[in-house]
Amino acid sequence: DAKTTQPNSMESNEEEPVHLPCNHSTISGTDYIHWYRQLPSQGPEYVIHGLTSNVNNRMASLAIAEDRKSSTLILHRATLRDAAVYYCMTRMYSGGGADGLTFGKGTHLIIQP
């Protein structure tokens, strides 16, 4: 799994879009990009994952750079409930050898009302 780099913290205002960046310059061709988040006093929660194309789901969008060396998690309209630590990680595709997730320090997202 490639090493990822994220800002320690970011601040945004409620109901505004938030763009959370992640660098993964050593990513290999079969590595997927995953995002999880951890709300205060809760276990981590899956947000989104992708390989090459941009991905959308009900929680967020994932924009992946053409060279795949970076990606951005987009929360289209942040609410106070989105305040959490967001973790970006890469995972080599495996059909039978997958193991635990490797969490870095993540980005602490602060939402101002």
Partner 1 sequence: DSGVTQTPKHLITATGQRVTLRCSPRSGDLSVYWYQQSLDQGLQFLIQYYNGEERAKGNILERFSAQQFPDLHSELNLSSLELGDSALYFCASSTRVFSTDTQYFGPGTRLTVL
Quick one: tokens of 88? 């970006």
E strand residue ranges, 1-113:
9-13, 18-23, 31-38, 45-50, 55-56, 61-64, 70-75, 84-92, 107-112
113: contact with partner 1 by CB under 8 A = no
40: contact with partner 1 by CB under 8 A = no
Question: Which of 28, 45, 69, 110 is close enough to bind partner 1 by CB under 8 A?
Answer: 45
**Closer to partner 1 by Cβ: residue 26 or 102:** 102
Q: How many CB atoms lie within 10 A of CB 20?
A: 22
32: contact with partner 1 by CB under 8 A = yes
Question: Which of 14, 61, 74, 91 is close enough to bind partner 1 by CB under 8 A?
Answer: 91
Question: Which of 19, 93, 110, 112 is close enough to bind partner 1 by CB under 8 A?
Answer: 93
What is d(CA 54, CA 33) in angstroms, rounded to the nearest whole number?
11
5: contact with partner 1 by CB under 8 A = no
3-state secondary structure of 111: strand
Q: Which residues bind partner 1 (CB under 8 A)?
A: 32, 36, 38, 42-46, 49, 87, 91-105
